[in-house]
Chains A and B, each alone.
Chain A
């Protein structure tokens, strides 16, 4: 079973959850005020949300901002550690990936660009 919140009525600290909604890659995901974005994603049955350079999946590992496994883009800012980021209603999360790139020269390199006869002179 994936991570989940302790049900409020079973929680000894006396909870009074106030819901919020964030958007993850275009999909609305529910959360609770006070949660970090990492918690929100974990509780949304996502144990991972990033691919490491050699293909491994990454979610939360250290939980306190040391390991940088949990980074994602939040409201357009990249490389935000979700475990240190309080969720706010309306936050937009875009997932990042360092999966092995199909094409590392996506921009036209002048070395390969057509019509560069001057350069090759």
Chain B
């Protein structure tokens, strides 16, 4: 490549500069490039190499109780197949790698207390429009033959889906690039460029980049990036690990989770939390999760996390006891104390927006977030009220909130 497009546009500036090439940044880049905006995406490492690369690719509605995040999840879930269909017209091979599987999810409670909590939770979700139905023991056994029979209750959510997360982000980014977005990897932000109290761009390791709007979509690094920009937001890393088994013949057919997360009260607990997530992949290995721990950016894979994931997986699928785990990896979710993403303009610094804090739901919420951002930038409202995710809330920019945190955990 000999044309220095980067240099030319850096002098002119783009409409939008996105900081972060994970699934959120890629989705926004795609959506804004579609509107004809000039877009630049700056990623400090490689595209989709952070949180996006270390998750399971969950697109879920099942784990969210009624509220703004559920509304965003439902909205985003509806958009996903539409976005993929649009992408497939010009990028069929990229979309194939997304491995979109609307396989549905089954939540399983193995105790009576868990069953009651699950029933209450599902009732509330149903009232909010989530499709879910109880499964009796026979239907559950037919759907998941290898699952334990010691089940007190189970609920099926047909709208839960799965993607290959790197594939998904890659397809969105390819579409964005195809529509004219400039993508710069190995390009880290150093400091803000401010003029008359307005953010007009950022200085990066590759030089200055000017834009009318800068969007902080740096995932768990959104906090440090926001510090750099002089508008700190309280997005923190929350560690999670995933186990991958040796390839198996077809054994698990849906996304299957235990109901522990429903009854969990201390989901803001910094100590290790885990709840089972079991799913198959096209290549044959099973993905096993999940764990949560607040430990800064400590990226060691800790044995107690692996042990907890293994124990919970075996409680649901005792037949997997002798299965070999051949790989483990982990990543950092972007976590906010009040468990809601941060989407919208920063009131303290005109020109700065944030689109982050999606905790473990970033893949699923990405295209919905991108749609909300596009609408809001155009001065329009959309199906979901973006103000629910406003930057200006105590958990994000205030002092520590005195309001009770919502007891909730997303996967």
SS class, residues of chain A in contact with chain B: loop
State whether the Cβ of B206 lies closer than 8 Å to any Cβ in chain A: no
Q: Which of B143, B146, B322, B323 contacts A110 (CB 8 A)?
A: B143
Tell me the minimal C-beta distance from B137 to chain A in angstroms.
Answer: 14
A78 to B145, CA, bound (A): 19
* Cα–Cα, bound, A103→B89 (Å): 28
A109-B103, A118-B133, A119-B158 given; A79·B246 CB < 8 A: yes
Residues of B within 8 A of A (CB): 102-104, 106, 131, 133, 135, 139, 142-146, 156, 158, 246-250, 253-254, 283-284, 322-324
Closest Cβ of chain A to B24, distance in Å, is: 28
Beta-carbon contact of B253 and A109 below 8 Å: yes
Find out whether the CB atom of B104 lies under 8 angstroms from the CB atom of A110.
Answer: yes
A64 to B324, CA, bound (A): 18
Tell me whether A98 is interfacial, beta carbon within 8 Å. yes
Contact mask for chain A residues 84-118; partner B; CB cutoff 8 A; 1 contact, 0 none: 00000000000000100101111111110100001
Q: Does A27 make an interface contact (CB < 8 A)?
A: no
Query: In chain A, what residue has the closest Cβ to B134?
Result: A118
Residues on the A chain within 8 Å of B146, using CB: 107
CB distance from B203 to the nearest CB of A (A): 47
Complex: A118 Cα to B139 Cα, angstroms: 13
Is A16 positioned at the interface, with any CB of B under 8 Å from its CB? Answer: no
Does B322 contact A78, Cβ atoms closer than 8 Å?
yes
Q: Are the C-beta atoms of B142 and A105 separated by less than 8 Å?
A: no
A84 to B144: give the CA distance in the assembly, Å.
34
What are 26 contact pairs spanning A and B, CB under 8 A?
A: A77-B322, A78-B246, A78-B248, A78-B322, A78-B324, A79-B246, A79-B324, A98-B247, A105-B253, A106-B250, A107-B144, A107-B145, A107-B146, A107-B250, A107-B253, A108-B143, A109-B104, A109-B254, A110-B139, A110-B158, A110-B254, A111-B103, A113-B139, A118-B133, A120-B158, A121-B131
A8 part of interface (Cβ distance < 8 Å): no
Cβ-based interface call for A76 (8 A): yes
Given A108-B253, A110-B156, 12 more A-B residue pairs with CB atoms under 8 Å apart are A76-B322, A78-B246, A78-B323, A101-B249, A107-B142, A107-B250, A109-B143, A110-B104, A111-B158, A113-B142, A118-B133, A119-B131
Within 8 Å CB of A98, what residues of B?
Answer: 247, 284
The answer for the CA separation of A106 and B143 in the assembled complex, in Å, is 10
A residues near B248, Cβ cutoff 8 Å: 78
Docked complex Cα distance between A110 and B253 (Å):
9
Closest 9 CB pairs of A and B: A107-B253, A79-B246, A79-B324, A118-B133, A77-B322, A119-B158, A110-B143, A108-B142, A106-B250
Footprint of B on A, CB under 8 Å? 53, 76-79, 98, 101, 103-111, 113, 118-121
Set of chain B residues within 8 Å of A110, measured between Cβ atoms: 104, 106, 135, 139, 143, 156, 158, 254
User: Do B143 and A113 touch across chains, with their CB atoms under 8 A apart?
Assistant: yes
Q: How far is the CA of A106 from the CA of B251 in the complex (A)?
A: 9
Residue of B nearest to A118 (CB): B133
Q: With A76-B322, A78-B322, A78-B323 given, is the CB distance from A105 to B250 under 8 Å?
A: yes
With A and B bound together, what is the CA distance between A109 and B160 in angstroms?
13
When C-beta atoms are compared, the residue in chain A nearest to B253 turns out to be A107
Among residues of A, the one whose C-beta sits closest to the C-beta of B135 is A110
Alpha-carbon distance between A106 and B322 when the two chains are bound, in angstroms: 22
**How distant is B217 from chain A, measured CB to nearest CB, in Å?**
33
Q: What residues of B have a CB within 8 angstroms of the CB of A108 in the complex?
A: 142-143, 253
- What B residues does A77 contact at CB under 8 A? 322
Bound-complex Cα distance A105 to B145 (A): 12
A113 to B250, CA, bound (A): 17
Residue among A53, A78, A107, A121 facing the most chain B CB atoms (10 A cut-off): A107
Residue of A nearest to B146 (CB): A107
Complex alpha-carbon distance, A118 and B155, angstroms: 12
- In the complex the two chains form, what is the Cα distance from A107 to B283 in whole Å? 17
Q: A83 CB to closest chain B CB, in angstroms?
A: 16
In angstroms, Cα B221 to Cα A100, docked, is 41
A104 to B135, CA, bound (A): 23
User: Once the chains bind, are B250 and A101 in contact (CB under 8 Å)?
Assistant: yes
Report A49 CB to chain B, min CB distance, Å.
Answer: 16
Residues on A with C-beta less than 8 A from B135 are 110
Q: How far is the CB of A69 from chain B (nearest CB, A)?
A: 13
Structural contact, A119 and B156, CB atoms closer than 8 A? yes
Give bound CA distance, A69 to B87, whole Å: 38
Q: How far is the CB of A79 from chain B (nearest CB, A)?
A: 5
Q: Given the complex of chains A and B, what is the CA–CA distance between A118 and B126 in angstroms?
A: 12
